[in-house]
């Protein structure tokens, strides 16, 4: 079945320092427009300012870059306060130098030990009466403190304003996601000779991580999942001492981060051999995935008035897989960029509004038979309605592949 196994050299090399600099310059040039778009949203919603707390937002709007594990220790550093004419970034003493260097448009503000009071003080000083914030992101104690400390400040629940802006990707963002896909594609191609009977999940997870980290990834997008046989039926499994075995599947779900942007891919390979039954299941998943991708491609290439919704895309795959056993309970896909999971969502519960454009998301149906087998195929696609195109960014082949 395998005419030729994919080779690392089939995929793009990691970006050069000059390319990284061009991307950094592009971000700096785009940042004022991003701020303007958020301010326009605030104005149209009748609020005076917006509070943002995610590190992805901090990077997108201000340029400050936290490490992948900075979240737990950064505390409230990296929070943004944006009004029509002011822009502040929280940076405690550990981050003030970094904020001065990286968040050049923003004014560093020390949150001290009472960030709620610091926010209220900033609002008062900047004439902000209505402040938009996401109650699903802000901790209860901070929310209450802002209200208590800021006499007359109204906190307006707001959700997804920045996520909606970030869902629409510019060309240089898509280039970076494609570069992260190539790092992952290449690492899996290099791993193929090691995916043999007896290798353990934990060993191969580490080799795949090491391949990405030494092959252009500044970080992982998330922990590598390397799951053998029946373990592949667990949507979230931690790689352990379980060995891969001839005739079973080897499922790898992994992603890289390049210049801040992330990839996410899943391949389910067969170790040594594959039964006809398992190959038939694989084909059901692949057909289901291609059904949604084809429909989205047609809509884009025809130049429809609007793209299908994320809910419709999920429906298309479920309809194509009807009658198969163990059809996925999770969503069909998710947007990706500075975060591994971001807007838009493609799932049964997703919005019925058309997908944004241009945007990038995963398409990842699966079949899971508990304790026996799990098969998932995940690719990232970039869709551009105005450009009448859909492009698959994951270039590692998705046809069934037997290793070893």
- Residues of this chain that interact with a second copy (CB under 8 A) are 65, 67-74, 93-95, 97-98, 113, 135-144, 157, 206, 209-210, 213-214, 220, 222-223, 234-238, 329-330, 339-341, 349, 370
Determine the 3-state secondary structure of 403 from DSSP.
Answer: strand
Residue with smaller CB distance to a second copy, 216 or 404? 216
Which tokens is 139 given?
Answer: 């901790």
Residue with smaller CB distance to a second copy, 78 or 288? 78
Pairwise CA distance, residues 188 & 257, whole Å? 15
Which tokens is 370 given?
Answer: 């508990």
Which tokens is 243 given?
Answer: 């060995």
Residue with smaller CB distance to a second copy, 113 or 151? 113
Residue with smaller CB distance to a second copy, 44 or 93? 93
What are the Cα distances from residue 105, in Å, to 31, 53, 192, 240, 253? 9, 17, 46, 46, 37
Residue with smaller CB distance to a second copy, 30 or 147? 147
Pairwise CA distance, residues 253 & 265, whole Å? 6
In whole angstroms, the minimum distance from the beta carbon of 159 to a second copy comes to 9
In whole angstroms, the minimum distance from the beta carbon of 124 to a second copy comes to 21
Residue with smaller CB distance to a second copy, 49 or 207? 207
Residue with smaller CB distance to a second copy, 222 or 372? 222
Pairwise CA distance, residues 53 & 40, whole Å? 19
In whole angstroms, the minimum distance from the beta carbon of 346 to a second copy comes to 16
Could you tell me if 131 and 155 are in contact, meaning their C-beta atoms sit under 8 angstroms apart?
Answer: yes
In whole angstroms, the minimum distance from the beta carbon of 339 to a second copy comes to 8
In whole angstroms, the minimum distance from the beta carbon of 231 to a second copy comes to 10
Which DSSP helix (H) or strand (E) runs through 268?
A: strand 265-271
In whole angstroms, the minimum distance from the beta carbon of 68 to a second copy comes to 6
Residue with smaller CB distance to a second copy, 95 or 282? 95
- For 382-401, give the DSSP string: EEETTTTEEEE---S--S--
Determine the 3-state secondary structure of 126 from DSSP.
Answer: coil
Residue with smaller CB distance to a second copy, 44 or 113? 113
In whole angstroms, the minimum distance from the beta carbon of 57 to a second copy comes to 14
Residues in the chain: 404
Could you tell me if 130 and 84 are in contact, meaning their C-beta atoms sit under 8 angstroms apart?
Answer: no
Residue with smaller CB distance to a second copy, 282 or 368? 368
In whole angstroms, the minimum distance from the beta carbon of 154 to a second copy comes to 14
Which tokens is 105 given?
Answer: 């448009």
In whole angstroms, the minimum distance from the beta carbon of 67 to a second copy comes to 4
Determine the 3-state secondary structure of 212 from DSSP.
Answer: helix
Burial of 194 (0-12, 13-18, 19+ CB in 10 A): middle
Q: Residue 89: beta bridge partners?
A: 80, 108
CA dihedral 329, 335, 337, 343 (to 10 degrees): -110
What are the Cα distances from residue 116, in Å, to 51, 77, 140, 141, 149? 11, 13, 10, 8, 7
In whole angstroms, the minimum distance from the beta carbon of 69 to a second copy comes to 4
């Amino acid at each position: 079945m395998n005419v030729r196994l994919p080779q690392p050299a089939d995929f793009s090399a990691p970006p050069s320092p000059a390319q990284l600099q061009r991307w950094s310059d592009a971000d700096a040039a785009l940042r004022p427009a991003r701020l303007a778009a958020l301010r326009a949203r605030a104005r149209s919603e009748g609020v005076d300012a917006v509070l943002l707390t995610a590190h992805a937002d901090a990077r997108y709007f201000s340029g400050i870059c936290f490490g992948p594990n900075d979240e737990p220790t950064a505390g409230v550093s990296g929070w943004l306060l944006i009004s029509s004419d002011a822009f502040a970034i929280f940076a405690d003493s550990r981050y003030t130098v970094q904020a001065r260097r990286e968040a050049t448009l923003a004014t560093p503000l020390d949150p001290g030990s009472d960030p709620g009071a610091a926010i209220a003080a900033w609002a008062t000083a900047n004439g902000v009466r209505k402040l938009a914030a996401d109650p699903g992101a802000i901790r209860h104690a901070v929310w209450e403190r802002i209200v208590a400390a800021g006499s007359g400040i109204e906190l307006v629940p707001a959700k997804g304003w920045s996520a909606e802006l970030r869902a629409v990707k510019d060309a240089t963002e898509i280039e970076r996601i494609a570069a992260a896909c190539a790092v992952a594609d290449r690492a899996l191609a290099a791993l193929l000779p090691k995916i043999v009977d007896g290798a353990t999940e934990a060993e191969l997870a580490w080799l795949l991580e090491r391949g990405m980290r030494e092959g252009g990834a500044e970080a992982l997008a998330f922990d590598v999942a390397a799951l053998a046989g029946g373990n592949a039926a667990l949507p979230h499994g931690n790689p352990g001492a379980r060995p891969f075995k001839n005739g079973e599947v080897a499922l790898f779900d992994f992603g890289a981060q390049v210049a801040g942007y992330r990839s996410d891919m899943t391949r389910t390979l067969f170790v040594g051999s594959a039964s006809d039954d398992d190959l038939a299941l694989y084909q059901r998943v692949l057909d289901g995935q291609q059904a949604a991708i084809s429909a989205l491609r047609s809509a884009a290439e025809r130049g429809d008035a609007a793209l299908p919704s994320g809910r419709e895309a999920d429906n298309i795959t479920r309809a194509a897989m009807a009658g198969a056993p163990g059809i996925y309970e999770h969503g069909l896909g998710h947007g990706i960029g500075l975060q591994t999971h971001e807007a838009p969502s493609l799932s049964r519960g997703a919005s019925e509004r058309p997908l944004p454009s241009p945007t990038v998301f995963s398409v990842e149906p699966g079949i899971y038979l508990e304790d026996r087998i799990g098969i998932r195929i995940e690719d990232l696609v970039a869709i551009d309605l105005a450009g009448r195109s859909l492009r698959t960014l994951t270039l590692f082949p998705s046809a069934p592949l037997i290793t070893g």
